[in-house]
Amino acid sequence: MTVLTRRLSGTVIAAAIVLTGCAKNAPQDTFQPKGPNARTIDDLQRPLFYIAGVVGLLVFVAIGYSIFRFKDRGQDMPEQTHGKTWLEVLLTVIPAVILSGIAIPTVAAVFKLDEKSNECVINVTGQQWWWEYDYSGTCGGVEITSPIVTSGELVIPADTPVLLRITSRDVIHSYWIPALNGKRDAVPGRLQTLRMQADEPGIYTGQCSEFCGLSHARMRQAAVSLSKADFQTWVTNQLEAYTAPEAGTLAATGESTFLNQCARCHQINGLLLADGTPALAEPDLYVVAGAAPNLTNLMTVTAIGGWTFDILTDECREELWNASPEDFGALYLQGVWMNSGPDAQKPVCFAEATLRDWLRNPAAMKPNYADPNKLDSTGGRTRGMPNLNLTEDQIDQLIAFLLERK
């Protein structure tokens, strides 16, 4: 490699790194706060970056000057001196003053982020490799009469301080929605709190930020903020009683298939066994984490598989994500039935191929530890959803059934 090639390569790489900072479509940009907590962090980090930038620049200039000024040109070795008291005092005092100056707003920000004026408590539980949310009590003035359990998407009322109580069922994860607040580790055995508040309705994405195993990169999450009226609608919808599919339909067959294949891990509230008793999932017997996503209202979320795979079509996803705060709630509450009209037989926005592929073989889309031949160490329990070897007919039935979970 010639010197020119090396320099060109270096320049291109450096330019590429710098240009990544100019990305417009960056929903996880920490410099675009969408709530008061994230704004508090942003107000702190920007001046710090400026100060650090100036200090860094001065250091690089000093180093560069020294390199060129004192380059070995065959001159005599300069006189070696040691100890200039005034310089050493100066070099100690300046960083101390800078750090003291930084400490004051930092401590103030830490206390501000811990304000306790919350109006809603939501339990957030991480496991390999998805997040579960459970709601109870009152949230933003909306009464939740029986527990709501969802996964992937944290739905919160806009302009309302929400307290997340975060823990983990297996390994350490870290919950992070950059637009709304900083990170908080989810540690097994501990319960930590994090405040969330969104200025206005919208969708704010995040990513597990603590390496947690094979599919860590596919452990994503989102916070969906709705107006209080829309949040009331969402809660009401979540609490609606289970409606069995019409007898003789494909969905009705899908209900039986679900009971036979899925119900041992996945809970659907209100689903009954053939003898009329409630079908109660027992994921603690089959999954290392002891939990699997509750699918009662699966079609009210926009992505599955640890919020990694969209079940909205690309066009509908774009429409939802680009919707104005005023229009967002109405679109979101329609889910995959967005733009479908009241009499539609099939949802227009449903990315069926995604769910079909997932049901066909989840491990092919999201690496996990669910190979039955390699589960000796966990007593046969899986980390992630195993391949159930469903037939195409069974997949059709399940999709028809799940489409009604809205």
Binding mask 164-203 for other proteins (x = CB under 8 A): -x-xxx-----------------xxxxxxx-x--------
Q: Quick one: 313 or 382, whose CB is closer to other proteins?
A: 382
Residues 6+ apart with CB under 8 A from 180: 33, 34, 35, 37, 38, 196, 197, 198, 204, 223
Among 28, 30, 45, 123, binds other proteins (CB under 8 A): 123
Choose the binding region for other proteins from 146-154, 202-210, 337-345, 389-397 (rule: CB under 8 A): 146-154
CB of 191 to other proteins, least distance (A): 5
Residue 253 has which token pair?
A: 């067959």
Q: How far apart are CA 36 and CA 202, in angstroms?
A: 15
φ, ψ at 69 (rounded to 5°): -70, -40
Strand-pairing partners, residue 184, are: 175
Q: Which of residues 257-286 bind other proteins (CB under 8 A)?
A: 267, 278, 280, 282-284
Residue among 367, 299, 378, 295 nearest 129 (CA): 367
Residue type, 322: N
CB of 189 to other proteins, least distance (A): 5
237 lies in the site for other proteins, by CB under 8 A: no
Q: Are 366 and 305 in contact (CB under 8 A)?
A: yes
Among 42, 43, 134, 352, binds other proteins (CB under 8 A): 134
Q: Site size for other proteins, by CB under 8 A?
A: 35
Q: Quick one: 199 or 284, whose CB is closer to other proteins?
A: 284
Q: Are 184 and 124 in contact (CB under 8 A)?
A: no
291 lies in the site for other proteins, by CB under 8 A: yes
Distance of CA 348 to the CA centre of its chain: 26
- Angle among Cα 133, 135, 136 to the nearest 5 degrees reads 155
Q: Quick one: 149 or 298, whose CB is closer to other proteins?
A: 149
Q: Any idea what DSSP says for residue 79?
A: P
Q: How far apart are CA 243 and CA 263, in angstroms?
A: 16
CB of 281 to other proteins, least distance (A): 8
Binding mask 197-236 for other proteins (x = CB under 8 A): ----------------------------------------
Q: Which residues bind other proteins (CB under 8 A)?
A: 116, 118, 121, 123, 125, 132, 134, 136-137, 147-149, 163, 165, 167-169, 187-193, 195, 267, 278, 280, 282-284, 289-291, 294
